[in-house]
Amino acid sequence: MARRSGRRTHADRVLEHLRRQTRPLSAYQILEDLRDDGVTAATTVYRALDQLLAARRVHRIESLNAWTACCDPSHTETPVFEICEDCGAVTEHVHTSLTKDIAALSSHSGFEPSHSVIEIRGRCGACRADAPTV
């Protein structure tokens, strides 16, 4: 994000905070975490998230109503999110052929998508490894 006069913007603070997290955060979690850093209103967080989303620097995990930093802002493919139901970790994957398959599916049906989100829920490798065997 562009910085004004060498100062960190609220969007900079939000993005830096999200990059340090191991799981997505709600806007209100972000607000609470950044209060001491000068972010004091929910509208400020939502404006920062809107700016970051427009710049493709963050993603909204829709099923969680939470936000995570983008793994690579230069990608144009539809990301796939694996969401661990045990620890809450979210992993972003980008795959070109999957994006082409989604576009072909929509093209065949005449549907014009404006936005697509793919979320896969389950257990990550670390949580599966920690699970007791039966």
Q: What are phi and psi of 81, to 5 degrees?
A: -110, 125
Helix (H), strand (E) at residue 83: strand 79-84
DSSP 7: B
Quote the pTM value.
Answer: 0.82
Site of tokens 């950044």: 34
- Using alpha carbons, select from 52, 41, 46, 60 the residue that is nearest to residue 16: 52
- pLDDT tens, the chain, 134 aa long: 555 556 889 999 999 999 999 899 999 999 999 999 989 999 999 999 999 999 999 999 999 999 999 998 888 888 999 999 999 999 999 988 888 888 899 899 999 888 888 999 999 999 988 777 66
Domains of the chain: 10-130 (3.30.1490.190)
Residues 6+ apart with CB under 8 A from 53: 59, 60
